[in-house]
Amino acid sequence: MSSTTTDGQPVSGPILILGATGKTGRRIAATLESRGHDVRRGSRSATPSFDWNNEAGWDDCLAGVEAAYITYSPDLAMPGATDSIRAFVDRAKRHGVKRLVLLSGRGEEEAQACERIVQNSGVDWTIVRASWFNQNFSEGAFVEMVQSGKIALPDVDTPEPFVDVDDIADVAVAALSEAGHVGEVYEVTGPRMLTLAEVAAELSGATGRNIEYVPVPHDAFVAGVTESGAPQEVVWMLDYLFATVLDGRNAYLTDGVQRALGREPRDFADYARENAATGVWRAVA
């Protein structure tokens, strides 16, 4: 199977998926492969390997590629992200890449600066601007908190329209492999907003266990993450996100999933019920 450009012409080359072992990338790669697309997985463990800190290896990853999914770890808000995105986009253009799909974050000025680099590249583009992931509680930094029954996070009561990673992946797959998505900014959220206390209640209902949200002073939270031995960039990112992005700027719903896919986004309750059935949140002895 080949993907198509906006004028309907087939794209015969492979699709590069950066972060192919991450939450969104592995889903996108698997879906594209299941549909017969030629996928090149971009990660440090792949061959050829992709590392944001080693530009010398990018050429092997980009050779012959006609579309690329760009996700930057740990976050586009990180200092230096714009330089990395600009360098990657410039190199992608030199290799003749025809389509770029960027995973971005809502309400992050630095992320929007990265978006502009892609938008002004002269290459067909789509932006997927996402709210916080449901899967942060099952595949990310907070899964052990859920297992322990105490979600100890900064004292924030601002609601967030958590979005399911499966929805993000479906939007990205459409943007990479279908006509009609070029030049679109898809701001994707779930169908309702939840506070962290409401998230804990949803997880309690799904697991049949008492899972409590424990508000922690921001500075104490950051100190605890630091003392846990988390990488410095992760500490920085969590500090930034809880201090900045959860200030109410993103406390509204958007229709990006609906516009891109023609269906409603997945609700947190469905996500919680399905993941509880896997045992991922079983209490740790």
Confidence of residue 51 (pLDDT cuts 50, 70, 90): very high
- SS3 labels along 248-271: CCCCCCCCHHHHHHCCCCCCHHHH
Q: Is the pLDDT of residue 8 over 60?
A: no
The overall average pLDDT reported for the chain is 93
Tell me the residue ranges of DSSP E strands in 2-84. 3-4, 10-11, 15-18, 39-42, 67-70
Q: Tell me: the pLDDT tens digits for 180-237?
A: 999 999 999 999 999 999 999 999 999 999 999 999 999 999 999 899 888 888 888 8
Q: Where are the domains of the chain?
A: 3-133+163-190+251-266
**Separation in Å, CA 243 to CA 156, 166, 193, 223, 258:** 9, 27, 19, 14, 30
CB 111 within 8 A of CB 76: yes
CB 143 within 8 A of CB 137: yes
Q: Which helix (H) or strand (E) holds 102?
A: strand 99-105
**Amino acid 140: pLDDT:** 83
Q: Is the pLDDT of residue 10 over 60?
A: no
**Amino acid 56: pLDDT:** 93
Q: Which helix (H) or strand (E) holds 83?
A: helix 81-94
Q: Is the pLDDT of residue 12 over 70?
A: no
Q: Is the pLDDT of residue 41 over 90?
A: yes
**What does the alpha-carbon distance between residue 57 and residue 125 come to, in Å, rounded to a whole number?**
23
Q: Is the pLDDT of residue 6 over 80?
A: no
**Amino acid 284: pLDDT:** 78
Q: Is the pLDDT of residue 3 over 50?
A: no
Confidence of residue 243 (pLDDT cuts 50, 70, 90): confident
166 contact partners, CB below 8 Å, separation of at least 6: 27, 266
For 192, other C-beta atoms within 10 Å of its C-beta total: 14
More confident of the two residues 6 and 20: 20
What's 283's DSSP letter? P
**Amino acid 11: pLDDT:** 56
Q: What is the mean pLDDT of residues 150-162?
A: 95
Q: What is the mean pLDDT of residues 253-282?
A: 98
Q: Is the pLDDT of residue 21 over 90?
A: yes
Q: Is the pLDDT of residue 2 over 80?
A: no
Q: Tell me: the pLDDT tens digits for 91-103?
A: 999 999 999 999 9
Q: Is the pLDDT of residue 82 over 50?
A: yes
Helix count and strand count (H, E) for the chain: 11, 10
CB 281 within 8 A of CB 146: yes
Q: What percent of the chain has pLDDT over 90?
A: 85
Question: In terms of CATH, what superfamily is 3-133+163-190+251-266?
Answer: NAD(P)-binding Rossmann-like Domain (3.40.50.720)
More confident of the two residues 171 and 240: 171
128 contact partners, CB below 8 Å, separation of at least 6: 101, 102, 103, 104, 168, 171, 172, 175, 186, 188, 256
- One-letter amino acid at 225 equals V
- DSSP 3-state assignment of 200? helix
